[in-house]
Chains A and B, each alone.
Chain A
């Protein structure tokens, strides 16, 4: 089983993620949207959406630092293991709480506000639930685990090298042998999200319109056809076209 979950499943999901995006981008520009429901309900969305999106961006940054930077590097920079962990727990928990508050609000809203529920697609529901699961387990792993379990589990010696292995196509499932259950579930559900990503509203992540900042003109014109050539000189000479 270890081999499947830690050496096959991630690649399965990554493959679906990549091919799915290519396929959807080619075939379904029309369906490619943030699927906002703000128009139907604004009050809860305001807090839910802002908290969730801010939180998840912070969480993303945290994961990049925690997973991709090896311990050796931070140590050489003079950051001791203890400092790193304390900082990670504090910032990680804060970001995690923000995100969790957001996704809980959004999920509750999606289920309990009838207008939103009735106009939700299956994918909308699924992604809200998956995000809730992954975020809550993630927060438990950062915050609750340290508080309640008090074990000496070090993800930087296990999960982090494993994920770096996955990224360079040399996964070592053995690293995951003694990883606690909620860490494993967090990872498996996270990869599940990657698998469904291209078929949900999450595609809007790739459409963040940063190009807006660099747009030369506020007003955009488009021509129906190639710009017509100017008419001949003799035609231009006469003023009246009545």
Chain B
């Protein structure tokens, strides 16, 4: 056993407003530079939809992530190392800028410097690549709130196998928001795809970074990442990606997207995991086992043996304490509410999602004040957002796990409802997950109250142990100059 710490995130889709504050603040911090205008390290997609870049989930096209070979060994979907080198002159799997969108700006001078005219002056868009006027046909968030979904929505690969059930007509439509950023995977395909060894995972916190000095621009990381979260800076011709705001994390502050999230739906904390078992956990035959395998990788931060081993592996006391208070551990492991995004890509992603329950409540007869739990649970099957869809997104198709999460969420609502409205502390011990009143109270505090100090439990980095920082200039993801 080799214990490592991983900075991880949980995003509560049940409460995400789709306000894009996270994307904007991230952009203003990290990608407001020439060459990266098109890049959104954090973006918020409306599902169903093809997303950004277009159809990023179609791995048959982009060949991201890992596949299990016949001998039970993991291999990059794009092919082995030799085939990579043979394709080095032209990467057939690369998404190009039109798959994202052609970046543009407006010619604002037309507004501010226009002479008096009969008609209003107009600021027209023009391309940041060529300078030519641009007719906008696609953008970073073209499908916002289902805009165009009747057209593009059908191409959403999560809709596979349920085409008949889902109709994207106005009356029956469903939607939710999916904020996406780099998953800082435990088994990152981007790292494995980089022939120069420029991308690496930090030992201390698991953050995946691109060494700008070592990147030679071969572009395999971009196609290798199944989440399409490595971006090509077309000015510097090097790869850039989300850094999980490590300069902030190191100082104990949450990432910019988390800090500014107006829905307060993001949680950041430490998880302890067994680094020796990562490959095994990523290699089950059945894709549905990936979620459970990954869960089992995470170690109980209260287990004395785990703590002892963690100390032997050099983890500091404040990190162990943070692991014990970690909201991510609570939501993903203890309560089992958060699920990984597309575990079938086998990268073991570390941004997990609480599925959106809300639309279901509309199905329940609103006249009922004391809905029986049976009715609520039955209603889950009739949810507007098909459970199969969420399962394709979060559990490689395992609907039971998603339904289980919803049942817990319903249980929580029922419990709090009777407590707050009826003044009754209904005993709930007989539920299949053994959640008692105290646990539900804690869930409530985390999910509903969502205090800053509970959402973010981030230990400072131990920079005093760092080696020669000057030598490390440029290694951590952005321009050394």
A residues sitting closer than 8 Å to B (CB atoms) are: 29-42, 45-46, 49-50, 52-54, 114-115, 118-119, 204, 207-213, 215, 218-231, 235-236, 239-242
* Distance of A45 Cα from B217 Cα, bound (Å): 15
Given A212-B84, A212-B85, output 5 extra A-B contacts at Cβ < 8 Å.
A30-B238, A33-B236, A224-B202, A225-B204, A228-B315
Q: A222-B203, A224-B204 are in contact. Are A38 and B94 (CB under 8 A)?
A: yes
**Residues in A whose Cβ lies below 8 Å from that of B308:** 236, 239
**Residues in B whose Cβ lies below 8 Å from that of A52:** 89
A241 touches B317 (CB 8 A): yes
* Distance of A12 Cα from B308 Cα, bound (Å): 64
Q: A39-B94, A222-B200, A228-B314 are in contact. Are A241 and B320 (CB under 8 A)?
A: yes
B237 touches A34 (CB 8 A): yes
**Residues in B whose Cβ lies below 8 Å from that of A221:** 200-203
Which single residue of chain B is at the shortest CB-CB distance from A214? B81
* Distance of A27 Cα from B78 Cα, bound (Å): 34
State the 10 A-B residue pairs at the shortest beta-carbon distance, nearest first.
A239-B304, A209-B195, A228-B314, A218-B192, A212-B195, A33-B217, A29-B213, A225-B465, A225-B466, A223-B203
Chain A nearest Cβ from B25, distance in angstroms: 25
A40 touches B234 (CB 8 A): yes
**Residues from 435 to 481 in B contacting A, C-beta threshold 8 Å:** 461-463, 465-467, 472, 474-475, 479-481
A33 touches B204 (CB 8 A): no
* Distance of A39 Cα from B100 Cα, bound (Å): 10
**Residues in B whose Cβ lies below 8 Å from that of A29:** 213-214, 474
B85 touches A209 (CB 8 A): yes
* Distance of A218 Cα from B283 Cα, bound (Å): 15
**Residues from 173 to 216 in B contacting A, C-beta threshold 8 Å:** 187-188, 191-192, 195-197, 199-204, 212-216
B203 touches A42 (CB 8 A): no
**CB of B316 within 8 Å of the partner chain:** yes
Chain A nearest Cβ from B96, distance in angstroms: 5
**CB of B23 within 8 Å of the partner chain:** no
**CB of B171 within 8 Å of the partner chain:** no
Which single residue of chain A is at the shortest CB-CB distance from B35? A119
Which single residue of chain B is at the shortest CB-CB distance from A239? B304
Chain A nearest Cβ from B3, distance in angstroms: 12
B85 touches A210 (CB 8 A): yes
Q: Which of B9-17, B107-115, B124-132, B140-148 contacts A (4 or more CB under 8 A)?
A: B124-132
B216 touches A204 (CB 8 A): yes
A242 touches B321 (CB 8 A): yes
**CB of B248 within 8 Å of the partner chain:** no
Chain B nearest Cβ from A213, distance in angstroms: 5
**CB of B88 within 8 Å of the partner chain:** yes
**Residues in B whose Cβ lies below 8 Å from that of A33:** 215-217, 236-238
**CB of B90 within 8 Å of the partner chain:** yes
B312 touches A230 (CB 8 A): yes
* Distance of A229 Cα from B475 Cα, bound (Å): 24
Q: How many residues of B are in contact with the other chain, CB < 8 A?
A: 72
**Residues in B whose Cβ lies below 8 Å from that of A50:** 89-90
B474 touches A219 (CB 8 A): no
**Residues in B whose Cβ lies below 8 Å from that of A40:** 96-97, 129, 234
B202 touches A222 (CB 8 A): yes
**Residues in A whose Cβ lies below 8 Å from that of B467:** 224-226
* Distance of A128 Cα from B311 Cα, bound (Å): 57
Chain B nearest Cβ from A190, distance in angstroms: 22
A227 touches B82 (CB 8 A): no
Which single residue of chain A is at the shortest CB-CB distance from B238? A33
Q: A29-B474, A224-B202, A227-B314 are in contact. Are A241 and B237 (CB under 8 A)?
A: no
**Residues in A whose Cβ lies below 8 Å from that of B320:** 241
**CB of B293 within 8 Å of the partner chain:** no
**Residues in A whose Cβ lies below 8 Å from that of B238:** 30, 33
Which single residue of chain A is at the shortest CB-CB distance from B305? A239
Partner of A38, one of B90, B197, B313: B90
* Distance of A225 Cα from B469 Cα, bound (Å): 9
**CB of B62 within 8 Å of the partner chain:** no
Partner of B218, one of A34, A118, A219: A34
Chain B nearest Cβ from A48, distance in angstroms: 9
B196 touches A209 (CB 8 A): yes
A49 touches B89 (CB 8 A): yes
**Residues in B whose Cβ lies below 8 Å from that of A46:** 90, 92
**Residues in A whose Cβ lies below 8 Å from that of B474:** 29-30
B480 touches A118 (CB 8 A): no
Partner of A36, one of B202, B213, B219: B219
**Residues in A whose Cβ lies below 8 Å from that of B219:** 36, 38-39
* Distance of A32 Cα from B91 Cα, bound (Å): 19
**Residues in A whose Cβ lies below 8 Å from that of B311:** 230-231, 235-236
* Distance of A145 Cα from B293 Cα, bound (Å): 68
**Chain A CB within 10 A, most for which of B219, B234, B324:** B234
* Distance of A54 Cα from B94 Cα, bound (Å): 20
**CB of B307 within 8 Å of the partner chain:** yes
**CB of B376 within 8 Å of the partner chain:** no
B479 touches A30 (CB 8 A): yes
Partner of B316, one of A35, A215, A228, A240: A228
* Distance of A118 Cα from B102 Cα, bound (Å): 14
* Distance of A201 Cα from B391 Cα, bound (Å): 46
**CB of B104 within 8 Å of the partner chain:** no
Partner of B192, one of A219, A226, A228, A236: A219
**Residues in A whose Cβ lies below 8 Å from that of B212:** 30
* Distance of A231 Cα from B90 Cα, bound (Å): 50
* Distance of A109 Cα from B85 Cα, bound (Å): 24
